[in-house]
Amino acid sequence: MDREAVIGTESDVFAQVLADTAADARVPTCPEWAAGDLLWHLTEVQLFWAGVLGRGARTDADVEAVEQAKPARPATLEESLALRQQATDALLEQLRSLDDAEPRWSWFEADQTVGFTRRMQTYEATMHRVDAELTAGRQISPITPDVAAGAVDHAVDVMWGGWMPDWAQYEKRAVGEFVATDTGQRWLVELGHWFGTGPESGKEFDEGMATRATTGTPTITVQAPVTDLALWSWVRGGSVEIAGRADAQAALDAVISHGMP
C-alpha cells in the first residue's frame, strides 16, 4: 500500500467535498460537529503529527511544544482550505523522509514509531473523507480492499483496546469472528470490558474493549464485504450480518457503541 498516496488523495477529496458543503451542515457520524469543525479537525490533526515527526518528539514536553506551535483556526472557508493543504503537504513531507522504525511519540504506548503515525493517518484521512461525504449527503466513494482490511486491523489492534487505566480490571466476555465475504479475510477478536473506580474522581467506569485473539471458539460472527466491515468497525455505516449468542452480542455492542473518533 502506498500510504502517502492514500493520505494525499483522501485528504484532497475530503477538502473538495467540504468546499462545496455549507459550513454549518451537521456531521451525522460526529453530531457535535458541523462541516467547518470537521475541516478544522483533520487540518489540526495533520499539523500536529507533522510537528511530532518533524520535531522528533519523544516526550510529553516535546508534544506540548508541538501543541503550542499550532496556528489559530482560520476565520474563513478559503483560509481553512488553504491551511488544510499546507497541513497535508507538511505531513506527507515528513512521512516521505522517515522510515517506519524511527522512534517518535504516539498516544499508543505499544508503538512509539513513525510507522504508527503512517498507519493511523491512512485511516484517519480515509474515514474523515467518509464523514465529509455523509455530511454533504453524497454516496460514499469506494475504499480499496487493502485500505479497508487495514482499517479493520487498526480497529482491532489499536482503537478498540489500545488503552486501559492502570487501576482498572479487565474481564473477557466472548470471542467473535469477523469475516470479509469478498476477500476471505478473517479476524478473531476477544470481546471484553474494563471496569473500576477512578481513584481521583471516584467515578465508576465500565467500558467495552476488544483485542486480537489467537485462540477461542467464536460465539458471534460478523460477515460483510471488507469495505462494509471497515465502515461498520469505524462506526461509519456499513451493511453487516451478525449472528451469535445474546451475551456475545451485548459484548460486541458495548465495543461498537463506544464510537470511533
Q: How many domains does the chain have?
A: 2
Does one domain contain both 134 and 9? yes
The set of residues, in sequence order, having a beta carbon less than 8 Å from that of 59 and lying 6+ positions away, is: 105
CATH number at residue 251: 3.30.1050
Mean pLDDT by 10 residues, the chain (261 residues): 97 98 94 96 98 96 95 95 98 98 95 97 98 97 97 96 87 97 97 94 93 95 98 95 96 89 71
Taking residue 150's Cβ as centre, other Cβ atoms within 10 Å add up to 21
Residue 113 lies in a domain: yes
Report residue 71: phi and psi, to 5°. Answer: -70, 165
Does one domain contain both 129 and 8? yes
pLDDT at 98: 98
Closest among 121, 139, 136, 156 to 230, alpha carbons compared: 156
pLDDT at 260: 78
Does one domain contain both 43 and 137? yes
pLDDT at 7: 98
List the domain range (segments joined by +) for residue 210. Answer: 151-256
pLDDT at 161: 85
Of 101, 117, 141, which residue sits at a domain end? 141
pLDDT at 9: 98
Does one domain contain both 106 and 185? no
pLDDT at 198: 92
Residue 146 lies in a domain: no
How far apart, in Å, do the first and last CA atoms of the chain sit? 23
Residue 261 lies in a domain: no
CATH number at residue 81: 1.20.120.450
